[in-house]
Amino acid sequence: MNSHERTCQPRQRGPVRQYLPAGYPKLNTPTRREHAMAQLYFYYSAMNAGKSTTLLQSAHNYQERGMRALLYTPAIDNRSGSHAIHSRIGLTAEAIAFSEGYDFYDAVKQAQVAGPVHCLLIDESQFLTPLQVLQLTRVCDQLSVPVLCYGIRTDFQGEPFEGSKYLLAWADNIIEIKTICRSGKKATMNARLDEQGNRLTEGAQIDIGHHYEALSRKEFHLEVVSPVGRRQAP
Q: Tell whether 228 is covered by a domain.
A: no
Residue 210 lies in a domain: no
What is the pLDDT confidence band of residue 17, given thresholds at 50, 70 and 90? very low
**According to the model, what pLDDT value does residue 197 have?**
85
Q: How far is CA 39 from CA 116, 121, 171, 206, 215, in A?
A: 16, 12, 8, 28, 31
pTM of the model: 0.81
Residue 122 lies in a domain: yes
What is the average pLDDT score of the chain?
A: 84
Confidence of residue 131 (pLDDT cuts 50, 70, 90): very high
- Of 64, 94, 124, 195, the active-site residue reads 124
In a domain, 87, yes or no: yes
Average pLDDT over residues 146-170: 96
- Whether the CB-CB separation of 114 and 139 falls below 8 Å is answered with no
pLDDT one-digit tens code per residue, 189-229: 999 998 888 888 888 788 776 788 999 999 999 988 998 87
What is the pLDDT, as a whole number, of residue 27?
37
Rg (CA), the chain: 22
Report pLDDT digits (tens) over 160-180.
Answer: 999 999 999 999 999 999 999
Burial zone of 195 (CB within 10 Å; 0-12 exposed, 13-18 middle, 19+ buried): exposed
Residue 123 lies in a domain: yes
- Alpha-carbon span 23 to 15, nearest angstrom: 20
172: closest CA among 141, 130, 212, 202?
141
Residue 55's domain comprises: 31-178
What is the total count of domains within the chain? 1
78 pLDDT tier (thresholds 50, 70, 90): low
What's the CATH code of the domain at 113? 3.40.50.300
Question: Facing residues of 92 across strands?
Answer: 86
Active site annotation includes 213: no
Asked whether residue 203 is assigned to any structural domain, the reply reads: no
